[in-house]
């Protein structure tokens, strides 16, 4: 079974914590030594650090994905402007009045 990068990184951190060298753990678990070093220093992952810059929460993003899949199954072709409008409506429902471009921070 192929393990994803995050699982390998977690195992590499555990190996270093158990006494292995960072170089050995990075090579053995096939992860970047620099990434392992940053994780050991307690720095956030790239995704975690980007979350603060986003306007929509992961739950709201999931809502847009669900709505889009539903519209696609119904046979509607959606334009980018429709996504922007839907994102703005979600934000306004939460009392956030951001611009349409801010609302599309959906990495």
Domain that holds residue 63: 58-103
Q: Does any domain span residue 19?
A: yes
- The number of folded domains in the chain is 2
Please give the mean pLDDT across all residues of the chain: 83
pTM for the structure as a whole: 0.52
CA-based end-to-end distance of the chain:
28
Q: Does any domain span residue 34?
A: yes
Residues 69 and 36 in one domain: no
CA distance 3 to 19: 23
Residues 63 and 37 in one domain: no
Residue pLDDT, tens place only, 52-76:
667 788 888 898 889 889 988 999 8
Residues 39 and 62 in one domain: no
27: Cβ–Cβ under 8 A, 6 or more apart, which residues? 33
**Contacts by 45-54, CB closer than 8 A, 24 or more apart:** 50/107, 53/105, 54/105, 54/106, 54/107
Residues 98 and 63 in one domain: yes
Pair 105, 54: CB distance under 8 Å: yes
* 1: confidence class by pLDDT, cuts 50, 70, 90: very low
Q: Mean pLDDT check: name the lowest of 24-33, 37-46, 82-91, 96-105.
A: 96-105
């Amino acid at each position: 079974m192929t393990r994803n990068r995050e699982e390998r990184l977690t195992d590499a951190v555990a190996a270093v914590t158990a006494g292995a060298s960072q170089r050995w753990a990075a090579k053995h678990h096939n992860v970047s030594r620099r990434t392992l070093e940053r994780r050991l220093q307690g720095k956030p992952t790239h995704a975690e650090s980007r979350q603060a810059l986003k306007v929509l929460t992961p739950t709201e993003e999931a809502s847009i994905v669900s709505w889009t899949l539903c519209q696609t199954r119904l046979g509607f072709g959606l334009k980018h402007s429709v996504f922007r409008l839907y994102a703005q409506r979600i934000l306004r429902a939460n009392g956030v009045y951001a611009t349409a471009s801010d609302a599309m921070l959906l990495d």
